[in-house]
A and B are shown apart, each in its own frame.
Chain A
Amino acid sequence: MNCRQCTEFIIEYVEGDLAGETRVAFEGHISRCPTCVRYIDTYRETIALGRQAFSADEEVVFEPIPEELVRAILASRPLKD
């Protein structure tokens, strides 16, 4: 397995879905290839940073909803029978 092929299988590897001969070949490659190890590390970090980027929203004070949008929403409210 080379780096290009290894890259194809990263998603299955990080999600624990890689099995059998492919897993053996994959692990064989990364045991010899520090470049792919660093690539996989940064792939995992990409996922983690994506999650963080939006959970950090918790700390962001949301802009209030624009006044004209409030009015438009209230005007389009379906009336109760």
Chain B
Amino acid sequence: MTDTGAGTDTPAATPDESSLVQALKAGDPAAFETLVRLHGGRMLSVARRFVANEEDARDVVQDAFVSAFRSIDRFEGQAKLSTWLHRITVNTALMKLRSRRRRPEESIEPLLPAFAEDGHHAAPIVEWPEAEDLLHRKQTAARVRAAIDRLPEGYRTVLLLRDIEELTTEETARMLDLTINAVKIRLHRARLALRTLLDADLHEAGE
């Protein structure tokens, strides 16, 4: 799993980190608190991407730490702690979504592109302005995150796993218990819908 925001490419633990891991394995309570304070904020922000409300996001982080504490003996230091915790957080968030998924799913249809009877695009398609400066880029990033939040859950989750976590279609299918074809369809529709939301947003921002 690519760990967006926590860096999978940076290998292995730093010396500080390996002493923290040793202390965790020894059951040192201070080490647990250090771990929670060091990584909890980032894990909360990852959990918020997947689950809709703050209470659920906090539950996810709490459950993720409980799993982490339980399995710290198996942590081998090949990955960074942040990467390992990130993965646990994503898995825990998916479990939370599964336990909650009982409501009928919101339709994505209104966000898909519209076509005329002859199959042409019903509305003109225009290029997007480029966000060149840093402030603009930051505003755009915030708008994109808000737009992703607006996608119906079953689509948002697929988009997060494929495009943000950069899992493969097969891995995503396995984690969500979907067929490969269903993942492809959902991903495509999620991107089309996100494109529709961004199209409206970016033009509003450019005016």
* Chain A, residue nearest B113 (CB): A7
A43 to B113, CA, bound (A): 12
Interface size for A (C-beta < 8 A) is: 43
- Which A37-64 residues have a C-beta within 8 angstroms of B? 38-39, 41-43, 45-47, 49-59, 62-64
Out of A35, A46, A70, A80, name the residue touching B195 (CB < 8 Å): A46
Out of A38, A54, A56, A58, name the residue touching B125 (CB < 8 Å): A38
- Chain A residues within 8 Å of B138, by CB: 56, 59
Interface bracket on B: 35 or more
Report yes or no: B70 in contact with A78, Cβ–Cβ below 8 A: yes
Chain B nearest CB, measured from A37 CB (Å): 9
- Scoring B44, B125, B126 by chain A CB atoms within 10 A of each residue's CB, the highest score goes to B125
- Scoring B65, B118, B137, B184 by chain A CB atoms within 10 A of each residue's CB, the highest score goes to B65
Report yes or no: A73 in contact with B62, Cβ–Cβ below 8 A: yes
Q: Is A25 an interface residue (CB 8 A)?
A: no
- A-to-B contact residues, CB < 8 Å: 2-5, 7, 10-11, 35-36, 38-39, 41-43, 45-47, 49-59, 62-66, 69-70, 72-74, 76-80
